[in-house]
Chains A and B, each alone.
Chain A
Amino acid sequence: MSGRSLGALTLATTLLLAAPPGRAADPEPSKAAPKGESWTLDSSNWQDGKDVLPESVVKRLQAGDYWFNVVSVDATRFHHNYSQAFWDATDKNAGKYDLDAKTCGLKDKATGKIPDFVFGLPFPTIDKSDAQAGCKIAWNFTMAGAMGGGGGATFTLNGVDTSGQFRRIKAFIHSRGFQGRHFGPLAEDNPEHLAGEGLSGAIEPQDVEGVSQLTKRYWDWESQDAIWAYVPSTRRARRVNAASRSDPVAGLDIFADDLNCYAGKVEYYQWKLIGEQEILAPLLQPYPFPMRSVSPTRQLIDTPYMPAGYEVPNRRGVPWWIQDHLVFVKRPVWVVEGQSSDPYYNFGKVIMYFDKEMYRIYWKLVHNRGGEYFYTAMCGYHFVKNDETFSAVFPNLVVGVNDKTNRAALGGRFQSSFLEQHWDPSYFSLRTITHMTD
């Protein structure tokens, strides 16, 4: 596994996970989804899916490769998957922010500069006729994902083809976010003026153990992410280009930019709102999981494993299709195009489906720079919340499918994750990644 590709996963998580400072609420029993209407969408009724799934997915639905356990949700309760604190802050953000015309960077209207700290959706209302609507949607996505603050998980990457799994990598990812988190800015200094930072490393198999990466994302409009990759055999950490997020991770059909379906800085892409529709959103469960405190600064979240077809007998569909613990909820989405102007970035036009309320990307379709479509990523999530003071949304699944090679990769599917409010100040450093295998 290349260090840079694994490590590039890190930063996105940085801006996702959160730590409730010193006020971990007592866990409540998990509330099961209310018994509502649920039905199966498969090849026998594929027509019901043609308006709520991307075309490339409908094709596989029709062929029997995929099937969907569709559940209905209570819209109000789903809205409250995010804390009331988050929604109150979102309301207060109305009219407060603008965009830098040149870079699409977030701007505080009062100062004309990048804001010191943002919490909640910066743009509570999106005007479809606004030429900058796409960029505003991307900022809402970024800040919704950042509400958690910081944490980590150990996860697997599985390369799967039509005959089954051909490669498995176990890795971990840790992150800390400075922007977008509940309870305001961190008490720790932020001398590098970061939006977030992250660290990732491979654990298995042995030949990639210790390959690791450090990523720092600057809170400004112009800077590229600073990424360092470390390979134990060379005992050197070297700086890699931020565009490596579009390189395949460890030769698998998955990319660092697949985390949350987009893992770059908002400023990296040109964004364009194309339309709106409904889509089937992949979720571990429709409503939040509880968290439990294991230390004054750390909370754990237990989640069920999502077995794929290659792992179970009598599977339905292709070997990479998730068989259990995955539901699909019909959600209203913005359809947005994104395109990087970086000549080293491998993707051409990317089409993404953003939840109009929760601002998660559920699906993305990727063209290469020559205009060939080649890849669809399905991005699944789960929510975490104990009370109305704190919530977080975790990316827990990526199913990346290369339709050109008819292969796929699964990322995530962790059974345990954590939120951390107080990392050792020296943890996110070159010293950590270069001494991981000592």
Chain B
Amino acid sequence: MSRAVMTARGTLVLVGVLVSLAGYLWVAEVGRRTPLRASAPVEPAPLLAVPPAAVARVEVEEGTVHLVAIRRGGGWSDAEGRPWPRDAVADLLESLGTIRPVMTVDPDPTDPADYGFGPDAVRIRLLAPDGRPLLALDVGERNPAWTGLYARRTGSREVMLVGALLHWELEKLQAKAPEP
């Protein structure tokens, strides 16, 4: 029967191996770690990225219907100078300033008409006092659950989903348009 004997030299060798492994771990693993930092969730920008007060002209086009609101004094009037009812335009702008894209549905659709971007799409244009475009948005169909609408920035192919509140605000605007 043999007896295992640990010699001083063997102990030193094992200690050396242990130190080497610990050193490797420190250099190769722990040292590479970047310190943990709390990061704020990235929230997409709202559709209208400027304050509603910066908008001087609103154009909404749907088929043959073409609505225009021009800021004059403290209120809004249409192209012929007829006043818009209180809050009708302001509500749309306020909502555009809070609605953010929920998700990108399709970065490059084969047929944009699938999302309602055909001739019947609603087109929204918001302009600054100097005529600079602040928002140009095409609004297509509602999604199957009706929780949102397909939209894309004019000139872009990327299809976004935005909240259906926009549909409600557009309906309100059309219902309150000045009588011709």
CB atoms of B163 and A372 under 8 A apart: yes
Residues of B within 8 A of A349 (CB): 95, 165, 168
User: Of A131, A367, A369, A406, which one neighbours B164 at CB under 8 angstroms?
Assistant: A367
What is the size, in residues, of chain A's interface with B at 8 Å between Cβ atoms?
21
Tell me if B79 is interfacial: C-beta within 8 Å of chain A.
no
**Which of chain B's residues 21-65 have a Cβ closer than 8 Å to chain A?**
none
Residues of A within 8 A of B148 (CB): 372-373
Tell me if B175 is interfacial: C-beta within 8 Å of chain A.
yes
* Given A274-B172, A351-B168: A367 in contact with B163 (beta carbons within 8 A): yes
Q: Which residue of B lies closest to A406 (CB)?
A: B145
* Given A349-B165, A404-B145: A275 in contact with B99 (beta carbons within 8 A): no
How many Å lie between the Cα of A406 and that of B147 in the bound state?
Answer: 11
**Minimal beta-carbon separation of B39 from chain A (angstroms):** 20
CB atoms of B146 and A373 under 8 A apart: yes
**Minimal beta-carbon separation of A160 from chain B (angstroms):** 17
CB atoms of B147 and A370 under 8 A apart: no
What is the size, in residues, of chain B's interface with A at 8 Å between Cβ atoms?
20
> Contact flags (1/0) for B60-104 with A, using CB distance below 8 Å?
000000000000000000000000001100010001001110100
**Which of chain A's residues 107-138 have a Cβ closer than 8 Å to chain B?**
131
Residues of B within 8 A of A275 (CB): 175
Residues of A within 8 A of B86 (CB): 131
CB atoms of A371 and B87 under 8 A apart: no
CB atoms of B166 and A371 under 8 A apart: yes
CB atoms of B145 and A371 under 8 A apart: no
Q: Which residue of B lies closest to A348 (CB)?
A: B165
Q: Which residue of B lies closest to A405 (CB)?
A: B145
CB atoms of A59 and B146 under 8 A apart: yes
Tell me if B137 is interfacial: C-beta within 8 Å of chain A.
no
CB atoms of A371 and B175 under 8 A apart: no
Residues of B within 8 A of A372 (CB): 102, 147-148, 163-165
CB atoms of B87 and A373 under 8 A apart: no
7 further interface pairs, Cβ-Cβ under 8 Å (given A370-B100, A371-B99, A371-B100): A348-B98, A349-B165, A370-B99, A370-B102, A372-B148, A372-B164, A373-B148
Q: Can you identify 29 A-B contacts, CB atoms within 8 angstroms?
A: A55-B146, A56-B146, A131-B86, A272-B87, A272-B91, A274-B172, A348-B98, A348-B165, A349-B95, A349-B165, A349-B168, A367-B163, A367-B168, A370-B98, A370-B99, A370-B100, A370-B163, A371-B99, A371-B162, A371-B163, A371-B165, A372-B147, A372-B163, A372-B164, A372-B165, A373-B147, A373-B164, A374-B147, A403-B147
Contact residues of B with A, CB < 8 Å?
A: 86-87, 91, 95, 98-100, 102, 145-148, 162-166, 168, 172, 175
